Amino acid sequence: MLVRSGSDAGAAADAGADLLARWHEPHRHYHDVEHLGEVLVYVDEMAHLAGDPDAVRLAAWFHDAVYAGVPGRDEEDSALLAGSVLSGLGVSRERVLEVVRLVRLTAQHDPRADDGDGAVLCDADLAILGSEPERYRRYVAGVRKEYQAVPDEAFRAGRAEVLNRLLDAPRLFRTEPGRRRWEAAARRNILAELHQLGQT
């Protein structure tokens, strides 16, 4: 985990095991290890667009490390966890600050135009929106299961609000490869889900 020296290998292994355990928590049905794996693959594919690819990879590992289904709070708690863990492992202060910034960015997925690191992470995180129909259906089912305590009517209204906000964005993906690969499919998937929710 890009630690200071070989003597920290044991601490890094423990930190990695803790992170994996978090991603395997039983209440996760979409924000799980499959999602983590997909994000890491996409980050690697777009790493050449990032200024600090290692910071983006670390941010991917931490971006949903804390997940309680509370938007905004989850990202903040995940960012704080990243700062604490990485600082303890001897990661440089500059990189720790970048990782923390990137994790916080996933709350809104709105990087600046000149933010290559942020664009790569946000596109990788949102890539699920442009996935094949079967994977998208599993994603939707997973999200619903994570909010199973929410009554159907309230969930439909909240989900429709999120989806319409996404559709209203001038573009969902900030990198050129992301736009080519996922933009059109994401908008089709979102419209289809809104139709299924009875919101179109």
Does residue 121 fall inside a structural domain? Answer: yes
Q: How far apart are CA 39 and CA 60, in angstroms?
A: 7
Does residue 1 fall inside a structural domain? Answer: no
**Cβ atoms of 118 and 102 closer than 8 Å:** yes
Closest CA to 65 of 109, 21, 97, 6: 21
User: What's residue 5's pLDDT?
Assistant: 45
User: What's residue 10's pLDDT?
Assistant: 87
Does residue 2 fall inside a structural domain? Answer: no
Q: How many domains is the chain partitioned into structurally? A: 1
Does residue 122 fall inside a structural domain? Answer: yes
- Please report, for the domain that includes residue 192, its CATH number: 1.10.1300.10
Does residue 42 fall inside a structural domain? Answer: yes
Q: How far is CA 173 from CA 28, 59, 90, 170, in A?
A: 25, 18, 33, 9
Q: Which residues of the chain have pLDDT under 50?
A: 1-7
pTM value? Answer: 0.94
Domain extent at residue 95: 10-196
Does residue 5 fall inside a structural domain? Answer: no
Give the number of other Cβ atoms within 10 Å of residue 56's Cβ.
28
Residue 83 in tokens: 């700062």
User: What's residue 22's pLDDT?
Assistant: 98
Does residue 4 fall inside a structural domain? Answer: no
Does residue 45 fall inside a structural domain? Answer: yes
User: What's residue 200's pLDDT?
Assistant: 61
Q: How far apart are CA 83 and CA 90, in angstroms?
A: 11
